[in-house]
Structure 1
Amino acid sequence: MGDRHREDNLGPDHVSGIETPNASIGITRYFIDTGRLEWDARAADIFEAGLDPRPAIEIWHERVHPDDAHLLVQLYEDASADVGAECIYRVVLSDGTVRHILTRSVAVETAPDGHPTVLTGVVSQVRPLIDTSERLGTVLDSVSLGFAILDRDMIIRYVNTQTERHLGIARDQLIGRHLHDALPDTQGSYFDNLHRDALLTCGEVSIEAPALFRPDTIMEVTANYVEDVVAVSFRNITDAVHRATRLLDAYRELLAKSRLDDLTGVLNRSALFERIERVSAEISLPTAILFIDVDNFKTINDTHGHLVGDHVLRITAARLADLCNSNTVLGRIGGDEFVIAMFDDDEPLTTNEPEQLRRRLRRAARAPIDLNDSTLSIELSVGIAHNTGESTLEDMLTRADLALYEHKTNISRIDVPRRTKHQH
């Protein structure tokens, strides 16, 4: 498209007077030889296409008011001859309501023999004014989107009022200048990539990125290729992004809480086994699994009450967690029972490392637990299952559980946990 067409395309002599409440600009491409119509998401919204799987041309024909069909025939003839043709016509939506649509051609692609093959246009929902001397610029200046047109060489051909406000620069200081000269901050930015990709793909590209000219603002910037020009639109999505971030954080928090044991804060049973299985799939099965329980825990509950029992479990879980590192997975599988899976780090675990961890766990558990007017000491039983090289996860868990039982029966211990009065 030559410079004359670009200037005519934006000039004041080819536009209609319209008013555009809640305006949104969409782009359409009509392939003359095949009768196929393509539109972007904004145009689809204007014609209330929604999730309708039918071809766009079929939806469009259904929507056009029959009394306005002749307007579109004339538009087609005018657009085929030159860009800048426009008209306002009515469409009837599925609920019977009527919309007025402004359509304007912005580019004509031709075959080698000169006949037109593709018509590209912009569409917008409008409300006709009595005073028809207003111009299409009214549409572009009324939309909430920032809108600009760059040619293939990145010369600014048009900016609307929202763009002026966003930049804080009048359009007469921008139009006709190279983007980098008029706005040096754009050089090397995502604007270069969007412009390049739109030209390469002859389609639409979009990005969400921090605004170059307004701190703490996030913009959605979309570039649409229209023959030899790139139409760039942008809108402030800061609030939407922050809302989405808050929702995502809340979801993650909820998800994290759903994976933790309510009482102790370590992984719950399902999350524990899921984590062990995932790490096993990524590296290898655990080198060892430790089954742990609190000796005489039923006696603690019966003697001191469940509130004390819960307190003992919370303290015990915290002490176990303190002795675990990034190569271990700890969780509570129910009651007073916990499981620790030990994985190899860069260096394989030695045979005695699980035994050393068992001794540290039992020693840490013996530290007095403060109650209201006394202390309570507990003992842990720990069963260990080593990876034999041919083990399965289920086999190791079973052997660790059996080893726990053997450990409990082979060690002499006091039947009732020791409780000592505080000295005042």
Structure 2
Amino acid sequence: MSTTNTILLTSTVAATAGYLVTSAYAVHLFSRLHIDGLTSLGNREALGILARRAASRRPGSVGLLLLDVDNFKAINDTHGHAVGDAVLKVLATRLDSLRLPGERAVRLHGDEFVLWLGAVPSDERGRQAAAHRVAAVRTALTKPIVLGGLRLNLAVSIGAHTLPTRDLQLSALLAGADAAMYVDKHGRRLTSLPANGRLRDHRPGRESA
């Protein structure tokens, strides 16, 4: 091989290696920015991307479910944060397994999760579809969790909300779902209470009831 060809080959290999390193770093950076480190679900930034994409498309409606675990703090306090983290991972796996085409499971923070429903009908059918998804998610997430010799029975609060994509704001979509989740949490409280009689309210400025 001539010296010129050797130089060209070396340059090509170096350029390819540089590209691969850059690409690998880009993937790593994207994961850090958009993937939740504990559960490997999407994070709030990933949810924001979904909302912005929806707002830029043709007119329609989108929906999401917002959920949290009732009295999750008691799990951490009683069994430790390692068990709490394990519970969150199980819930994340279950939620992710429920996804239909176009849906995305997201962990917002703590014990709060979102199931992004994507496009839904703009009329009553959209709200009914969201209600059906609430029922399916509740059934899956409230199945007992067994961790070693520990068996946990959880309750989850879920709120659904839909909005037109025109001028869509993620904050408004989450606020609507949050209000619905609050009603669900405290509505069910009238008929069923945890063993200690207390429910945690996740919203800032509100004390646990």
TM-score per shorter chain, which class? Answer: 0.7 to 0.9
Deviation digits for residues 255-305 of structure 1 (CA, Å, limit 9, x no counterpart): 223311111111122222233222332355652221110111111111111
Provide the residue aligned with 2:82 in structure 1. Answer: 307
**CA deviation string 1:318-360 (max 9, x = no partner):** 1111111331232111111112222227999643111111111
1:290 partner amino acid: L
Normalising by structure 1, we get a TM-score of: 0.40
Q: Secondary structure at the match of 2:140?
A: helix
Partner of 2:180: 403
The equivalent of 1:353 in structure 2 is 129
Match of 1:128 in 2: none
Give the 3-state SS of the residue equivalent to 2:119 in structure 1.
coil
TM-score by length of 2: 0.77
Structure possessing the higher radius of gyration over alpha carbons: 1
Letter in 2 for 1:414: L
User: What's the CA shift for 1:415?
Assistant: 0.9
Q: Looking at secondary structure, tell me which structure has more strand per residue.
A: 1
> What residue number does 2:147 align with?
371
- 1:255 aligns with 30
Measured after TM superposition, the shift of residue 315 of structure 1 is 0.8
**CA 1:301 to 1:270, structure 2 compared with 1: closer, same or farther past 3 Å?**
same
User: 2:41 — aligned with what?
Assistant: 266
Counterpart-to-counterpart distance in 2, 1:355 and 1:304: 33
Change (3 A) 1:251 1:389: closer
Alignment-derived partner of residue 240 in structure 1: 15
- Identity over aligned residues, as a percent? 28
Please report the RMSD computed on the Cα atoms of aligned residues, expressed in angstroms: 3.0
Select the structure with the greater relative contact order (CA < 8 A; seq sep ≥ 6): 2
Provide the aligned length of Structure 1 versus Structure 2. Answer: 190
Partner of 1:415: 194
Structure 1 residues 129-178: Cα deviation after superposition (integer angstroms, max 9, x where no partner): xxxxxxxxxxxx97525xxxxxxxxxxxxxxxx8xxxxxxxxxxxxxxxx
Structure 2 stretches of 5 or more lacking a match?
197-209
**Contact 2:120 2:126 survives alignment (8 Å):** no
> Which is richer in helix?
2
Q: Which whole-Å CA distance do the structure 2 matches of 1:238 and 1:347 have between them?
A: 54
Q: Compared with structure 1, are the counterparts of its residues 248 and 258 closer, same or farther at alpha carbon in structure 2 (3 Å cutoff)?
A: same
Quick one: which amino acid aligns to residue 8 of structure 2? Answer: R
Q: Equivalent residue of 1:344, what SS?
A: strand
Q: Which amino acid aligns with 1:380?
A: V
Question: Given that residues 295 and 381 in structure 1 are in contact (C-alpha distance below 8 angstroms), is that contact kept between their aligned partners in structure 2?
Answer: yes
Partners of 1:368 and 1:335 lie apart in 2 by: 20
Deviation at 1:374, TM superposition (A): 2.2
- Relative to 1, partners in 2 of residues 1:330 and 1:286: Cα closer, same or farther, differing over 3 Å? farther
Is 1:291–2:66 an aligned residue pair?
A: yes
